[in-house]
Amino acid sequence: MASGSVIRRGKKWAAVFRDNIGKQRWKSGFETRREAEKFLRTALHKVDKGEELLLHPPKKTFGLVCDEFLSFQTATKGLARATQDNYSRYIENHLKASLGADRLLTHINAKTCQDFALAHLKVGFNPRTVRHMTTLLKTILSYAVDQKYIVQNPAQRVKVPKPAKPKIEVLEPHEVDAFLDAVPEEWQPLFRVFIYCGLRLSEATGLCWDSVDLNKGEISIERGHFAGEFTRLKTESSRRVIPIPPRLVADLKRHRLRSKPSELNLVFPNEVGRFLNPQNLRARVFKPALKKAGVTKNVILHGLRHSFATNLLYEGVDLKTVSVLLGHADIAITGNIYAHALEKGLRRAIDTLSNVYEKGRV
pLDDT digits (tens, 9 = 90+) for 93-109: 999 999 999 999 989 99
pLDDT digits (tens, 9 = 90+) for 101-142: 999 998 999 999 999 999 999 999 989 899 999 999 999 999
Q: Are residues 343 and 307 in the same domain?
A: yes
| 193 and 127 in a common domain | no
Any domain includes 168: no
In total, how many domains does the chain have? Answer: 3
Contacts 24+ apart (CB under 8 A), 85-88: 85/226, 85/227, 86/132, 87/136
Task: Tell me, yes or no, whether 163 lies in a domain.
Answer: no
- Across residues 297-321, what is the average pLDDT? 91
Contact predicate 100/121, CB 8 Å: no
| Phi, psi (deg, nearest 5) at residue 13 | -115, 155
Residue 57 covered by a domain? no
Domain assignment present for 300: yes
Q: Which domain holds residue 332?
A: 173-348
pLDDT category, 361, cuts 50, 70, 90? low
Q: What is the model's pTM?
A: 0.67
CA distance 317 to 338: 13
Q: Which residues of 35-55 are buried (b: 16+ CB within 10 A; e: fewer)?
A: ebbebbeebbebbeeeeebee
Tell me whether residue 158 is in a domain.
no
Q: What is the pLDDT of residues 210-261, one digit of tens each?
A: 999 999 999 999 998 888 888 888 778 889 999 999 999 999 999 999 988 8
